[in-house]
Amino acid sequence: MPAAGPFPLGMAEAVDRLFVHCRQLVTLTDGPARGARRGEAMALLGVIDDGAVAVRAGRIVAVGPTDRITREYYAADEIDLSGFVVLPGFVDCHTHPVFAKTREHEFHQRCAGADYMAIAAAGGGILSSMRAVREASLEQLAARTEEHLWGFLAHGTTSIEAKSGYGLSLADEQKSLTALQQAQANVPLTVKRTFLGAHEFPPEYRQDREAYVRLLVEEMIPRLAPLADSCDVFAEPGVFDTSQSRRVLEAARAAGLRLRMHADEIQPMGGAELAVQLGAASADHLGRISDAGIQALASSDTVGVLLPGTILFLAKPHYAPARRMIDAGCAVAIATDFNPGSCYTQSMTLIMTIACSQMKMRAAEVITAATINPAFSLQLDDEVGTLHPGKRADLCVLDMPSWEAVGYSFGGNPVVMTVKHGEPVVTNVCERAPRG
């Protein structure tokens, strides 16, 4: 992508960098800079043809048509994005990147007919990842996690929520959160850390689950809260029931952590309702959410985070009812659920395709659900999620004919460049003939 040429003289204001001639610049500035968007507001994209972004000190100074921006601003560094669609950097608000080994053998077991819960009951699933994390050194786990964090950037994601949850002991959850902290220091990615010690019951507590809940509430949460921003719990029959989930989350709130929930994924359990009652930032999965749960979310600031890639990967029939949730007024986000067992992808563009084709979301809705709404759920909407002036210059550059090709275009990685704080940090294609 060659520079666009020498800067103009005169009264133009100096900036550090200009991104010019974007085929379409999707700014989301037709709506407010902050807060979740619901219903028809999810279609407010603020698309600018032949758009440009002026950046100074890593933040957006102005967006607009290229001819106007280049009259008003100049920079020694111009990056020509002719032919490409540019969005705010994706915000992936549900990921599990702290793991030591993949589990492809389980995928093929499921393809041959084995059930996910049966695999887990036989010692696979989360417990398989637990054993790998416990065996790994801190250095090994941090190095593997760092690789995973770079993978998000390669797919246009500039901010993530990242969970622990494969240690399931005080020492190994501390190792996981420390590995995440060390990894993020080496990667230009915004990371919000979540403690997920309540991901499963470890083998040593399978016969005394109450003791593990006490360990979580009395020791793990107070000790590990300084290493995390939020606490999550896998609320599901057979894992943490409603009473146990409430106790874990109330202890987390008392320790100053924000709350998130794996809720109503496999069976309806009133998880969305509980998330709203506790003031959780999000209720995630929601494949079996009830009508009461939808109404509860619609009347709250709890974001419904939908994970359609997991349903596809596990070949389950129940996708979250995105259409009903949006029409009811819920704040809806989408995320990858990147993890070694049930959704091994970091591609938000693939998740957008599944959301459109299987959950009947519209292109504009999935863009909003991958940017400002997840940013709101992570308390990052002051900084990212739209391209309003003053926010961080986090951009995702896509090789697509138009913004409406989001969802339509799938397979491979359409991300040409990822920009973080105004700096290109990943360039997947160095020199490429732009679209006409």
pLDDT greater than 90 at residue 9: no
Q: Which residues contact 324 (CB under 8 A, 6 or more apart)?
A: 294
Share of the chain above pLDDT 90, in %: 89
Share of the chain above pLDDT 70, in %: 96
What are the tens digits of pLDDT across the range 114-164? 887 778 777 788 999 999 999 999 999 999 999 999 999 999 999 999 999
Q: What is the pLDDT of residue 6?
A: 46
Total tally of structural domains belonging to the chain: 2
pLDDT greater than 50 at residue 384: yes
Q: What is the pLDDT of residue 123?
A: 75
Residues 58 and 113 in one domain: no
Q: What is the pLDDT of residue 33?
A: 98
What is the C-alpha to C-alpha distance for residues 238 and 232, in angstroms, rounded to an integer?
17
**Domain assignment of residue 328, yes or no:** yes
Q: For residue 188, name the pLDDT band (cuts at 50, 70, 90).
A: very high
Q: What is the pLDDT of residue 116?
A: 72
Domain that holds residue 371: 91-377
pLDDT greater than 70 at residue 8: no
Q: Which residues contact 368 (CB under 8 A, 6 or more apart)?
A: 28, 37, 42, 43, 44, 45
CATH, residue 76: 2.30.40.10
Residues 76 and 143 in one domain: no
Q: For residue 10, name the pLDDT band (cuts at 50, 70, 90).
A: low
Residues 194 and 220 in one domain: yes
Q: Which residues, listed in sequence order, are joined to residue 26 by a DSSP beta bridge? A: 47
Mean per-residue pLDDT of the chain:
95
The CA distances from residue 135 to 96, 132, 170, 203, in Å, are 18, 5, 15, 15
Q: What is the pLDDT of residue 73?
A: 98
pLDDT greater than 70 at residue 432: no
Residues 84 and 95 in one domain: no
Residues 197 and 217 in one domain: yes
